Structure 1
Amino acid sequence: MPERIPTPAEIKRWRQYLADERAEASVYRDLAKRRDGEEHDILMALATAEGRHEQHWLDLLGDHAGPPMRPSSRNRLLGLLARRFGSVFVLALAQRSESRSPYATDADATDAMAADESIHEEVVRGLSARGRNRLSGSFRAAVFGANDGLVSNLSLVMGMAATGVGSQVVLFSGIAGLLAGALSMAAGEFVSVRSQRELLDASQPTRITLSAAPSLDLENNELVLVYLARGMSREAAEHRAAERLGQFTCDCDPSLSLQAENFESPNELETLGTAWGAASSSFCFFASGAIIPILPFLFGMTGIGALVLACTLVGLALLGTGAVVGLLSGASPLWRGLRQLAIGMGAAAATYLLGLAFGGLVG
């Protein structure tokens, strides 16, 4: 039971905390249902921790707990997404929610609860990173492709329209820009990812040390140089070379024991994605972005009305792609969306002014 009689404002705040803790625990349990192994156990442990926080507010409220309140709109959205999808977007939202916990400045929350929320943010960040790694290869190409298509083709359409040419010329210029840009993006992504994969493959250790070890000069053991070149300390390199040469098979220090010769980050190639995946994503998403500015012209609109509608459609799309990037990175979706909007509209406005200047010169 609480030692003092809480004020109505305190009761309201505590009951809101209680509702949010219950909602967050439910989110983690719903996410855990869609996972197994270590990730399942981590999410269930987070739900258990939220249960401890829930009990704290129940103890403070005592007889004032009353019927359950509705959680915040953010937690209701998280719960809905967790039940329906259980995707990396939910974890990204949960990470942001944990980072905005009010417990650090609330005198009624314990220091342990505030510390828990900080740690929860890092735990969820780690879980989110796994999903981001799986998405980041093709997703990077998709997002940049869509944004390039939106901005570059809107700029092209605005610039051509500003010169005073007919709407049909603007339309065909936009179609040409769509095809040229999509093919260029696809080719560039394919070459970039394929080249990076080839560089990674060329840097991978081979099994040559196993076959060459028996014939090496024991007095001038160049095998040590192999492991030094791969970044090992001299102690670890000499230890590994001795193992390869069969000088001993028993280790006292487990950190130096015989291990697979793979110095690459395990998620590096997974994060990079495939060349064809990146190329196809770039083509499709550039084209899907680039077609938006020419939609008004495709449907027969002309003049300033077509340009205004094109800018409006592109602006909404830029807000959407920026918000998605913000969600996945754990940043503010609104801020990222507005940043994308400002960059895109700024480029289009600059091109429109250049088109006016060129049109005046030609006229």
Structure 2
Amino acid sequence: MTAPAQPTARDRRRWERYLVNERAEARVYRQLAARREGEEREILTALADAEGRHEAHWLHLLGGEPARLPRPDAGTVVLAWMARRFGSIFVLALAQNAEARSPYESDPFATPAMAADEKIHHEVVRGLAARGRRRLSGTFRAAVFGANDGLVSNLALILGIGATGVAPQFVLFSGIAGLLAGALSMGAGEFVSVRSQRELLEATEPNDYADDALPHLDLDANELALVYRTRGMPQPEALERARLVVTAAQGGAAPVPRSADRAAEDDVVGSAWSAALSSFLFFASGAIIPVLPWIFGLSGLAAVVTALLLVGMALMATGAMVGLLSGGPPLRRALRQLLIGYGAAAVTYVLGWVFGVSVG
């Protein structure tokens, strides 16, 4: 795109905004880099340097440092604030979305290289965020599932019971019982699920059962190559691998590291204990919210409306967090969670009303 011959005052104001945003984003990446080590620190530092190149472009067009500069965009300010106070996974998820919204592709004063840089930066940040998501996903899945299950199931339970016209004390007792029963069930179920999945993965990994037989195998006629083929190696590679292992074993050399033959266990499985504890605590923290109005003495329609408002805010918060961490639109995820939760509660409320009397 060809830039206009004479930039306007509006163009200069836009350049100044780009300038402060580039500086703010560079600071975010450097703050994140300071909390990392090794490769991730190098990647984040390189991203900050790239933002510096873009900053230099706008400074050149402005003819030097302006006397006054605007504040960075609100999203960039939030990003910088989070970078100083929270874990990098949240910041990287926000930065991923910010890089995807770069205006350079349609700005006549931005170079094609700058627009291309922003697209590459989006992929780099997405890759860094993906590492964090993989490390977090096992426990995070249990936590989000537990919290939402507690919110929705206990709201549905107490609304369904409350709609029958029973005493407020009975609604409160039902809510507490549902909290404890659900939290224990979620924790136990998550523990068994994750432990079973981990045991299944461990059962598929190589072991040392046949290691003592390796020195006695015929170098040219042995079935060790079949072992490697069952692990997914092509036939030529499996044959070569078998010859190397047998030769090393017969010569008394150090064995080939078993890690070279073993598929790495999937990190997304996570820890059974941490998943169980997360499920228990997050279910309980979600399930207590719809009970709060009855705990504080409300009853009837006032308690129902208050519970709906509290649960609605919590559902939107968890939905927005899922959207943020997944790189999707937080508002859309929040509304989806809200509709699902309210839909389930509405069904049980109607059933309770049909079999009893209306609330109040």
Taking structure 2 as the reference length, the TM-score comes to 0.92
> Which AA in structure 2 matches 1:354?
L
> Which stretches of structure 1, 4 residues or longer, exceed 6 Å deviation after superposition?
none
* Residue matched to 1:137: 138
> Which AA in structure 2 matches 1:190?
F
> Which AA in structure 1 matches 2:103?
P
Per-residue deviation, 1:68: 2.5
Matched, 1:318 2:315: yes
CA deviation vs aligned residue, 1:120-139 (integer Å, no higher than 9, x gap): 11111111122222211111
Matched, 1:12 2:9: no
> Which AA in structure 2 matches 1:117?
E
Please list, as runs of the form range in 1=range in 2, the aligned pairs for 1:77-96 lying within 5 A after superposition: 77-96=78-97
* Residue matched to 2:44: 43
Per-residue deviation, 1:108: 1.8
Measure, in 2, the Cα distance between the counterparts of 1:3 and 1:326: 39
Per-residue deviation, 1:271: 2.4
Equivalent residues of 1:34, 1:86 under 8 A apart: no
Q: Secondary structure at the match of 1:246?
A: helix
- CA pair 55-350 structure 1, distance change in 2 beyond 3 A: same
> Which AA in structure 1 matches 2:173?
F
> Which AA in structure 2 matches 1:350?
V
- CA pair 247-292 structure 1, distance change in 2 beyond 3 A: closer
Aligned counterpart in structure 1 of residue 356 of structure 2, from 354, 359, 363: 359
CA deviation vs aligned residue, 1:301-346 (integer Å, no higher than 9, x gap): 1100000000000011111111111111111222111111111111
Measure, in 2, the Cα distance between the counterparts of 1:276 and 1:246: 43
> Which AA in structure 2 matches 1:264?
A
Measure, in 2, the Cα distance between the counterparts of 1:311 and 1:161: 13
- CA pair 265-165 structure 1, distance change in 2 beyond 3 A: same
Measure, in 2, the Cα distance between the counterparts of 1:102 and 1:135: 31
> Which AA in structure 2 matches 1:4?
A
Per-residue deviation, 1:209: 5.2
* Residue matched to 1:286: 283
Per-residue deviation, 1:260: 3.2
Measure, in 2, the Cα distance between the counterparts of 1:133 and 1:289: 24
- CA pair 48-259 structure 1, distance change in 2 beyond 3 A: farther
Q: CA RMSD in A?
A: 2.1
Measure, in 1, the Cα distance between the counterparts of 2:55 and 2:92: 21
> Which AA in structure 2 matches 1:70?
R
Matched, 1:350 2:347: yes
- CA pair 248-209 structure 1, distance change in 2 beyond 3 A: closer
Matched, 1:341 2:338: yes
Measure, in 2, the Cα distance between the counterparts of 1:288 and 1:170: 18
> Which AA in structure 1 matches 2:14?
R
* Residue matched to 1:164: 165
CA deviation vs aligned residue, 1:102-145 (integer Å, no higher than 9, x gap): 11222221111111111111111111122222211111111110
Measure, in 1, the Cα distance between the counterparts of 2:257 and 2:192: 37
* Residue matched to 1:330: 327
Per-residue deviation, 1:357: 1.4
* Residue matched to 1:252: none
Matched, 1:261 2:264: no
* Residue matched to 1:253: none
Measure, in 2, the Cα distance between the counterparts of 1:278 and 1:63: 54
> Which AA in structure 2 matches 1:23?
A
Matched, 1:100 2:106: no
> Which AA in structure 1 matches 2:90?
F
- CA pair 136-3 structure 1, distance change in 2 beyond 3 A: closer
* Residue matched to 2:253: none
Measure, in 2, the Cα distance between the counterparts of 1:143 and 1:137: 10
- CA pair 301-221 structure 1, distance change in 2 beyond 3 A: same
Taking structure 1 as the reference length, the TM-score comes to 0.91
* Residue matched to 1:60: 61
- CA pair 262-357 structure 1, distance change in 2 beyond 3 A: farther
Equivalent residues of 2:92, 2:125 under 8 A apart: yes
Matched, 1:125 2:126: yes
**Segment drifting more, 257-266 vs 144-153:** 257-266
Identity of aligned residues (%): 61
Q: Secondary structure at the match of 1:153?
A: helix
Measure, in 1, the Cα distance between the counterparts of 2:249 and 2:173: 74
> Which AA in structure 1 matches 2:186?
M
Measure, in 2, the Cα distance between the counterparts of 1:212 and 1:261: 19
Aligned length: 351
Measure, in 2, the Cα distance between the counterparts of 1:195 and 1:52: 51
- CA pair 65-235 structure 1, distance change in 2 beyond 3 A: farther
CA deviation vs aligned residue, 1:49-89 (integer Å, no higher than 9, x gap): 00111111112222684423211001011111112335211
Equivalent residues of 1:11, 1:64 under 8 A apart: no
**Segment drifting more, 106-115 vs 197-206:** 106-115
Measure, in 1, the Cα distance between the counterparts of 2:293 and 2:150: 16
